[in-house]
A and B are shown apart, each in its own frame.
Chain A
Amino acid sequence: MAKKIMVVDDEPDNRKTIKTILEKEGYVVITAVNGDDCLNKIKEGEKPDLILMDIMMPGTPVREIVPKLKNIKVVYLSVVRISEAEKEELLKSKNVIGFIQKPFDLDELIRNVKKFLG
C-alpha cells in the first residue's frame, strides 16, 4: 500500500510542486495550507505516514503544532536559516525526524523522503 505524505506549506506553488513530484514517485499526497489546517485534517481522520512541514507559516506557530501531532513523523522544510545547535535541538523533539533546507534539489527531496519513510 502506498505511503501517505502530508505537505504543509502556505505557499501554493511549493505545495503543488512537492505534491506532483511525490505523486510521480508513487506516494499518496495530501496538503494543508498551514499548521492549523494540518491539525484539523488529522482530527478529521487523515493518517499520514510522514508530514513535510514548512517551519515558517502564518497561523499557530509550528512549535505548538508539532507536539499535537503525537506519533506522526515530521520533517521540517525550512527557508529559515537556523544554526547547527538549533537544528540539533529541533531534532530532539520526539516526532521530528529530519530537516530539509530550502531551496532544495528535487532529487534530494525524494532521496530524503525515501530515507525518512524507511
Chain B
Amino acid sequence: MVNLKKELESNKVLLLIVSGLEYNDRIVKVMKVLSGKSVAYVTLNKTNDSLKELFKKKKVDITNLVFVDAISKTFKKAPEQAESVFYCSSPGSLTELSLIITKFLKHDFDYIIFDSLTNLAPYQKRDIIIKFLSSLANKIKSSKTKAIFYALDVKDGKELIQQASVYMDNVINAEEINNSA
C-alpha cells in the first residue's frame, strides 16, 4: 500500500489518479495531509465556493489556502480577484492559467494542487495539454513548490494520463493508498 503523506513529501510532481466514487473523499484527505502548508488550489471542475463548502463541512483548515478558480466565470459573473481567490476565464485558457500558476511559484507556496488534468480535455487538444503540462512541470521542478495533479479515472482520459505520466515524478492510483493516510 502507498503512504500518501510520504509520497507527497518525497515527490516534487505527483499525479494522483482518482475514481469518480472516491473523488471528494480523496481531495479532502489530501488537504488534511497538507494541513498547515501553504497551498494554491487550481480548480477546473468545482467552484471555489463549493470547495470551501466541502472543506468547511469536513473540517479542513483553509487558512493557508488560495484558490485559482477557472470554472466560476464560465457560468456567473466573477471579478478578476477576490479574497483568497484568483479567477481564470475558463479551464481552456491555458495561457492565463499558466501565468497565474507561475506567479504562485514565485511566491514559494508549499504546494500547488491541480484539479484536474482530465478536465482540460474538453477544451484543448491533447498535444496542447501535454505542452502546457510539460512547461508547467519544468517550472515546478525548478521552484520550491511541490505539485499534485489529479486525474479522473475516466475512459476518455487514459491516453492523456499515459502521456502526462512522463512529466511526473510518480503516478499513484488512489486505490493503492493506505486509507489511514
Contact = CB atoms under 8 A, between A and B. Distances in A.
- Interface residue tally of chain A, by bracket? 20 to 34
Contacts of A61: 73-75, 90
A61 B76 CA distance: 9
B156 to A, nearest CB: 9
A108 interface: no
B88 to A, nearest CB: 12
Contacts of A89: 76
A81 to B, nearest CB: 4
Interface string A75-91: 01001111111100110
Contact of B75 (A55, A58, A79, A83): A55
A11 B156 CA distance: 11
A83 B49 contact: yes
Between B49, B71, B123, the greatest number of chain A beta carbons within 10 A of the residue's beta carbon is seen for B49
Interface of A: 10-11, 55-58, 61-63, 76, 79-86, 89-90, 103
Contact of B52 (A11, A56, A83, A90): A83
In the complex, the 7 A-B pairs of residues with the closest C-beta atoms, listed nearest first: A83-B49, A81-B46, A81-B50, A83-B50, A61-B74, A83-B53, A63-B75
B20 interface: yes
15 contacts: A10-B122, A58-B122, A61-B73, A63-B73, A63-B74, A80-B47, A80-B71, A82-B46, A82-B49, A83-B52, A84-B53, A86-B47, A86-B50, A86-B76, A103-B20
Given A10-B122, A57-B122, A61-B90, A81 B47 contact: yes
Interface residues of B, number: 22
A57 B77 CA distance: 16
Contacts of B77: 63
Given A57-B122, A83-B50, 11 more contacts: A56-B74, A61-B74, A61-B90, A62-B74, A63-B76, A63-B77, A80-B71, A81-B46, A81-B50, A85-B49, A86-B72
B19 interface: no
A81 B123 contact: no
A10 B77 CA distance: 22
B122 A86 contact: no
A62 B75 contact: yes
A58 B45 contact: no
Between B51, B53, B92, the greatest number of chain A beta carbons within 10 A of the residue's beta carbon is seen for B53
A56 B49 contact: no
A57 B71 CA distance: 10
A74 B104 CA distance: 38
Interface string B120-131: 001100000000
Contacts of A82: 46-47, 49-50
